[in-house]
Structure 1
Amino acid sequence: MLQLFEKQHGFRRDSVSLENWRNRPFNTWAFRNIHEFIPTAEVPATDNGVEEPKVDETWLTSQEIPIGDRRISISAVLQETYADTLVVMKKGVVVAEFHAPGFTTRSRHILFSSSKSVTGMLAGILAGEGTLDPDEPIARHVPELATSAFGDAKVRHALDMRTSLVFNEDYSDPRGDFARYRRAGLLDPALDGEPVETVISFLASLKKAQRDHGGPFFYCSPNSDALGLVVERASGLRFADLLSQKLWQPLGARSNALVTVDREGTARAGGGLFVTARDFARLGELVRREGEVEGRRIIPSEWVRDTVNGGSRDAWTTGNFADWLPSGSYRNQWYQTGNEDGAFFALGIHGQWLFVNPRSEVVIVKFSSQPDPVDDRLKSLNMALFSAISSIV
């Protein structure tokens, strides 16, 4: 088996570890097989999850599109951006797709921070049911966080990344805040001599910065894990069960999802979801249709409209992401482009995208295995790709 694996992937299975799984060449395999080395909880889909046949990719990949001052084939863009898969949906129907070698319509892939946008939708569902008020204090639902930076923050602050936290989201620092956060979620190996932490204990240790909550947009992944705990406590369901019952099954997802968990079983609501591209596209179509699928209301339309239109420009322009998305804003764990099409999206490190263009009625999912967690040049290239595809399908 090890010899067959090495022949298929160019390295031995036992060479993949928590130390290197996000690095190339290992990440191409690891991002599709996260459940083999990190604990997960299952998110059941519907029992009749029949997936439609694959759509031929030739038409899509052979197209040439304008990118800046050059014309380039979509195939070349996919290669340049380390694409694992691309699914294009028009008016709810898959019209084009691409799969890298070894990837199929049933292959799952880690979403990283695109998971946050799913958590935001769960909050909207509970808000519509009256079991969650975004203006409530986080600590009302999660008293373990009462003495942390979250102690005087509202759920709304976490939803919009406007909490005041002392936290540095530096993906490259092996001894920094983010590395410690990953270790608490079992995504990185433990360090000798370091106290064992869980997601909850890590969140409870975070301190408030020298500013009020509700100020500038400040991207900080722990917000989303705090939000994951809030939706669990408000609903009385574990995150995976809540997602299955309130969203994944009503949506009509065809494949079971997974979510990574820590040693206590706490889900990584901010980055641990693991799904198929087509099911993620179905979620995007649900949001494009303002929370309704096949005549059934799943997410309140008011929540969806607020999500795609309600972000604060002042918070964004004074925040820490304004340079790469100058016209953008952020609301309920989703990005708004601010462009004339009203496009909005979910985004995860290493190139995980869910892009929705309401004007062209297009939803695009792209999963990737970029070498670097964050690459502004590739983000811009992907955005140009999505805009071009939206105009030709």
Structure 2
Amino acid sequence: MSPSAVPAAHGSTWSTIAPAEAGFDEAKLAAAVAFAQAHESPWPKSLFYPDGSYVGNREWNESGPWTEIVGPVRERGGPAGLVLKGRRIVAEWGDTTRTDMTFSIAKSYLSVLAGLAVQDGLIADLDEPVGHSLPGPFFASTHNAKITWRHLLQQSSEWQGEIFDKSDQVDHNRQVGPSADNSRKGQKRQLHAPGSFYEYNDVRVNLLGWCLLQRFRKPLPEVLRERIMDPIGASSEWEWQGYENSFVEIDGQRMQSVPGGGHWGGGLFIGARDHARFGLLMARGGEWGGRSLLSADWIAQMVAPSPTLANYGFLWWLNRGPTARPALPASAYWALGAGTNIILVDPENDLVAVLRWIDGASFDAFLGHLYGAMA
């Protein structure tokens, strides 16, 4: 395919490639797909357990005053996904157009929006305190005044406060991953200096979304649609929903600030095929059909290891550090959402893979099957 060739717009036929032509063993690739289909997320389809508790509250051992679900929640679909090799589909399974919740994959979309803000000059310097361009109560304290855009993007801000009735304390002592211990989650701890301590969280990422909204001065879903999703031929079905209490007024207009996940409902509702286009844009250095949509320099910064966590960049997970998957090159990275939902980007192998609703404990085994199928 020519360098400028891209998948046709949503609704048209997306070119496929035979496994052997793409460098895969056909039987082994089929086994990888069968594995993903057979190892479905244990989450209930309704996203609520029989006792009425939300999957997020159960997943993160959440209780106390910040558990209220304030955004929309929709029943999920079954296992789905696709594998792209050289822009073409080499494997696909399940309903890849269904607009399911995608949880923290939305964080990686926020990272791309931050890159657009940098391109547009709306963020002059990542190491400038956010409060310099966004005066107001969120960055008024001595502690919060030191927080930079880089800190927010690397989840090391240690911001203290409350936004949309959710306190930063809700994610104190939070852990993620198969062996996560969230027995002390929500217990208040001593804060560190901004930029010196990593802790995965949602409240502070929601703050980043609010900050970007203030800089663009238009709803982030509109920015994403106009600058990224429409140009890459994504569907018109995806949505980015906020909370019932996340509306703000900017320049006399009422707008909804959107979250970086579905922790309390809301977030990005999107299909696997649209995710695949987004991942392909990242793999191609921000270019689509010969047009630069996102700076390649931003993508390089986005996937550079953070000083406080070697396998984390700007809201993307990296194949670095002690948790690196040996089957993948060090340059591979992924967006990850609870449930488990994944956009894997591997520029070195010209590969993008999207997984919807696989059991998180089976992700590494799937990668073994997938990469084991490559000649």
Name the TM-score class by shorter chain. Answer: 0.5 to 0.7
Check the 8 A contact 2:28/2:369 in 1, yes or no: no
Counterpart in 2 of 1:361? 350
Relative to structure 2, which stretch is displaced further, 354-363 or 82-91? 82-91
1:307-350 superposed Cα distances (whole Å, 9 cap, x missing partner): 22x213x522xxxxxxxxxxx52111111103535111000011
The within-5 A match list for 1:78-227 is 78-82=37-41, 84-99=79-94, 103=95, 105-133=96-124, 134-139=126-131, 140-141=133-134, 143-147=136-140, 150-165=144-159, 166=169, 167-168=171-172, 169=174, 177=186, 209-227=190-208
C-alpha spacing 1:162/1:73, structure 2 compared with 1 (3 Å): closer
**Is the 1:138–1:150 contact (alpha carbons within 8 Å) kept by the matching residues of 2?**
no
Report the counterpart of residue 261 of structure 1 in structure 2: 242
Measured in 1, the distance between the counterparts of 2:345 and 2:32 equals 22
Q: What does residue 251 of structure 2 align with?
A: none
Q: Report the residue type matching 1:131 in the other structure.
A: L
Deviation per residue, 1:248-272 (Å, 9 max, x gap): 1122213331112112332123441
Structure 2 residue ranges without an equivalent (≥5):
1-8, 42-77, 160-168, 248-255, 321-327
Give, as a single letter, the amino acid of the residue that structure 2 aligns with 1:143: G
Deviations 1:201-233 (A, max 9, x none): xxxxxx994311111332112232111112111
1:41 is matched with which residue? none
Distance, in Å, in 2 between the alignment partners of 1:108 and 1:143 is 36
Matched, 1:294 2:289: yes
CA deviations 1:348-371 (Å, max 9, x no partner) are 01110000111110000111065x
**Correspondent of 2:13 among 41, 52, 64:** 52
Deviation at 1:170, TM superposition (A): 7.1
CA, structure 1 residues 262+384, in 2 after alignment: closer, same or farther (shift >3 Å)?
same
Q: 1:209 to 1:258 in 2, by over 3 A?
A: farther
Q: Secondary structure at the match of 1:315?
A: coil
Instruction: Note if 1:273 corresponds to 2:268.
Output: yes
Q: Which amino acid aligns with 1:162?
A: S
Q: Does 1:381 align with 2:345?
A: no
What secondary structure is seen at the aligned counterpart in 1 of 2:339?
coil
Spell out, residue by residue over 1:61-85, the C-alpha distance to the aligned partner (whole angstroms, 9 max, x if none): 97337xxxxx965413431244621
The 2-side partners of 1:255 and 1:126 are apart by: 23
The runs of at least 4 aligned residues of structure 1 exceeding 6 Å deviation read: 53-62, 170-176
User: Which of 332, 344, 354 is residue 314 of structure 2 equivalent to?
Assistant: 332
**Mapping for residues 336-347 of structure 1, pairs under 5 Å:** 336-338=318-320, 339-347=328-336
Find out whether 1:64 has 2:64 as its counterpart.
Answer: no
Unaligned runs of 5+ in 1: 1-47, 66-70, 179-206, 317-327
- Aligned-pair identity in percent equals 21
Change (3 A) 1:299 1:164: same
TM-score by length of 1: 0.65
Residue 348 of structure 1, aligned match among 317, 337, 344? 337
TM value normalised by structure 2: 0.68
Aligned alpha-carbon RMSD (Å) = 3.4
SS in 2 for 1:356: strand
Q: 2:308 aligns with which of 291, 304, 315?
A: 315
Once residues 184 and 12 of structure 2 are traced to their aligned partners in structure 1, the CA distance between those partners, rounded to angstroms, is 43
CA distance in 2, matches of 1:129, 1:330: 25
CA distance in 1, matches of 2:111, 2:148: 14
The Cα offsets for residues 169-200 of structure 1, whole Å up to 9 and x where unpaired, read as: 4799899759xxxxxxxxxxxxxxxxxxxxxx
**SS of the counterpart of 2:79?**
strand
Distance in 1 between residues matched to 2:292 and 2:213, nearest whole Å:
21
Q: Which amino acid aligns with 1:138?
A: V
Task: Give the Å deviation of 1:238.
Answer: 0.9
Amino acid at match of 2:210: L
- The structure 2 residue matched to 1:76, chosen from 35, 44, 54, is 35
More helix by share: 1
SS of equivalent to 2:260:
coil
SS in 1 for 2:297: helix
Whether the aligned pair in 1 keeps the contact of 2:101 and 2:268 (CA below 8 Å) is: yes
After the TM superposition, which of the residue ranges 79-88 and 345-354 deviates more from structure 2? 79-88
**263-272 or 52-61, which deviates more:** 52-61
Q: Residue deviations 1:47-102, cap 9 Å, x none? A: x742426969999997337xxxxx96541343124462111111112221011xxx
